[in-house]
C-alpha cells in the first residue's frame, strides 16, 4: 500500500534507458489511432503498427497518434524512431509507476498524468491509478494509454464536429484539451469520496462498530493515496501554465491557467478530507469511551441498588436464636416494604444525580 513499487526491484541491475514494462500488463493487444486535421478537415484512421511510419509521413496538419495498451515493447520503440524520442521517454512510457511530471526535451514536451478508478477485489473496493503519457511536438501530439477505456472520446467527438475551436487551433490546444479532459475525470472521484464520507458519517452517528473504524482508515488512506498522486500534478500544470515551453501559444496558456485553477481546487478538496477523517476518528473514539461510561453507570446503579437489599436478606437469614422481629406477624412485610423504599430512594438519588 505504501509503495506501488512491487515489481520495481526486478528492474534493479538493468542498464538505464532500457524500456521494461513495470506495472500490471492490463492489455496485450495495443491499438493505434491516427487523427490528423487542418482547417480543411479531420482525417481519422486505425493504423497497423507496421504502417505507422508511412502513414505519419503522409499526414498533414496537426497529427494526433493515440496508443492504447502498452503490451508491445517494439511498437513503442517504433514510435521512438518515428518521432525521435529519447530512450528515457520510452522507458518512462512503459514504466507506469511514474509520478505526474513534465519534461522538456527541447523539440518536444513529455507529460505524465494519472487517472483513477475503483476496482472490487473480493469484498473490498480499492482505488487504482493508470498512467497517461502525452508528448507534444510542434505539429503532433502522442498519447499513450494503459487501459482500453474511452478516455479521449469526448475530445475526438469535438474534433470530428469541428466544434470548440479545436480544429482551427494548433497541437498545443489539442494537448490542452487532452489534459483538461483528464483533470475533469478527477471530479467524479471527488464525488465518490463525498458519497463515501456521507455514508460513513451516518453510520458513525447511528451505530459505530469496529468495522466503521476500518472504513474511516480506508477512506483516509484513499485520501493520502490521491493526495500523493495529485500533488505533483499541481507542479506540472503550474509549470506548463507559466509558459516555460515555447510550444504553447499565449492563448493556450490562458486555458491552461484555467486547468491549473481546477487542479488546485481538487487538491484542496482532497486535503480537507484529512480534517474530515480526523474528525470522524475523534467521534468514533469518544463514542466508544462514552459507551463505556454508560455501561459503567448501569452496572453501578444495579450494584448499588441490589447490594443493600441482599445484605438485608442476609441479616434476617442468620441463625441467631435471639433476633427481634422474626416472630412478628408483619415482620416479613415490613422488611419487604423497607427494601422497596430503599430501592426507590436509590433510583431517585440516581435520577437527581442525572445518572439515569
Q: Which span (25-33, 47-55, 128-136, 178-186) binds a second copy, by CB under 8 A?
A: 178-186
User: Smaller CB distance to a second copy: residue 138 or 291?
Assistant: 291
User: Smaller CB distance to a second copy: residue 54 or 184?
Assistant: 184
Q: Which span (7-15, 57-65, 69-77, 115-123) binds a second copy, by CB under 8 A?
A: 7-15
User: Smaller CB distance to a second copy: residue 75 or 281?
Assistant: 281
User: Smaller CB distance to a second copy: residue 52 or 241?
Assistant: 241
**Cβ partners under 8 Å of residue 176, min gap 6:** 248, 252, 255, 256, 259
Instruction: Indicate the DSSP class of residue 209.
Output: -
Q: Of 21, 158, 160, 234, which lies in the binding site for a second copy, with binding defined by CB under 8 A?
A: 158
Please list the residues that pair with 141 across neighbouring strands.
64, 136
**Residue 318 found at the interface with a second copy (CB under 8 A):** yes
**Residue 198 found at the interface with a second copy (CB under 8 A):** yes
**Residue 99 found at the interface with a second copy (CB under 8 A):** yes
C-beta separation of 80 from 135 below 8 A: no
Q: Of 199, 296, 344, 348, which lies in the binding site for a second copy, with binding defined by CB under 8 A?
A: 296
**Shortest gap between Cβ of 204 and a second copy (angstroms)?**
10
User: What is the side-by-side order of every strand in the sheet holding 41-47?
Assistant: 41-47, 31-38, 62-68, 140-145, 124-136, 109-121, 101-104
Task: Please state, in angstroms and rounded to a whole number, the distance separating the CA atoms of residues 93 and 65.
Answer: 14
Residues 220-249 that bind a second copy (CB under 8 A): 220-221, 224-225, 228, 232
Residues 324-353 that bind a second copy (CB under 8 A): 324-332, 335-336
Q: Which three cell numbers stand for residue 123?
A: 469484498
Task: Please state, in angstroms and rounded to a whole number, the distance separating the CA atoms of residues 354 and 170.
Answer: 75
Q: Which of 100, 108, 88 is nearest to 133 (CA)?
A: 100
Amino acid at each position: 500500500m505504501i509503495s506501488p513499487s512491487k515489481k520495481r526491484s526486478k528492474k534493479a541491475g538493468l542498464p538505464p534507458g532500457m524500456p521494461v514494462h513495470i506495472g500490471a500488463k492490463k492489455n496485450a493487444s495495443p491499438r493505434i489511432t491516427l487523427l490528423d486535421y487542418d482547417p480543411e478537415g479531420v482525417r481519422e484512421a486505425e493504423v497497423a503498427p507496421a504502417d505507422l511510419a508511412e502513414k505519419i509521413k503522409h499526414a498533414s496538419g496537426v497529427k494526433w497518434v493515440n496508443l492504447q495498451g502498452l503490451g508491445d515493447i517494439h511498437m513503442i520503440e517504433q514510435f521512438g524512431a518515428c518521432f525521435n524520442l529519447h530512450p528515457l521517454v520510452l522507458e518512462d512510457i512503459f514504466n507506469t509507476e511514474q509520478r505526474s511530471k513534465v519534461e522538456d526535451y527541447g523539440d518536444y514536451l513529455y507529460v505524465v498524468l494519472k487517472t483513477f478508478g475503483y476496482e472490487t477485489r473480493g469484498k473490498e473496493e480499492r482505488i487504482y491509478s493508470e498512467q497517461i503519457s502525452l508528448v507534444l511536438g510542434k505539429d503532433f501530439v502522442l498519447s499513450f494509454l494503459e487501459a482500453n477505456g474511452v478516455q479521449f472520446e469526448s475530445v475526438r467527438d469535438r474534433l470530428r464536429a469541428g466544434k470548440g475551436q479545436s480544429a482551427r487551433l494548433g497541437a498545443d490546444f489539442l494537448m490542452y484539451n487532452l489534459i483538461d479532459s483528464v483533470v475533469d475525470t478527477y471530479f467524479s472521484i471527488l464525488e465518490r469520496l463525498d458519497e463515501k464520507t456521507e455514508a460513513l458519517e451516518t453510520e458513525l452517528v447511528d451505530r459505530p462498530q469496529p468495522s466503521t473504524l476500518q472504513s474511516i482508515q480506508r477512506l483516509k488512506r484513499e485520501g493520502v493515496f490521491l493526495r500523493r498522486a495529485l500533488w505533483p500534478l499541481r507542479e506540472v500544470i503550474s509549470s506548463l501554465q507559466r509558459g516555460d515551453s515555447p510550444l504553447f501559444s499565449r492563448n493556450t496558456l490562458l486555458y491552461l491557467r484555467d486547468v491549473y485553477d481546477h487542479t488546485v481546487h481538487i487538491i484542496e478538496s482532497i486535503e480537507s478530507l484529512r480534517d474530515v477523517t480526523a474528525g470522524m476518528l475523534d467521534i468514533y473514539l469518544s463514542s466508544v469511551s462514552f459507551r463505556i461510561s454508560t455501561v459503567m453507570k448501569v452496572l453501578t446503579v444495579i450494584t448499588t441498588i441490589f447490594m443493600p437489599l441482599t445484605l438485608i436478606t442476609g441479616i434476617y437469614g442468620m441463625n441467631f436464636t435471639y433476633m427481634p422481629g422474626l416472630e412478628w406477624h408483619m415482620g416479613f412485610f415490613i422488611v419487604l416494604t423497607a427494601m422497596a423504599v430503599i430501592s426507590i430512594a436509590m433510583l431517585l438519588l440516581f435520577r437527581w444525580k442525572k445518572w439515569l
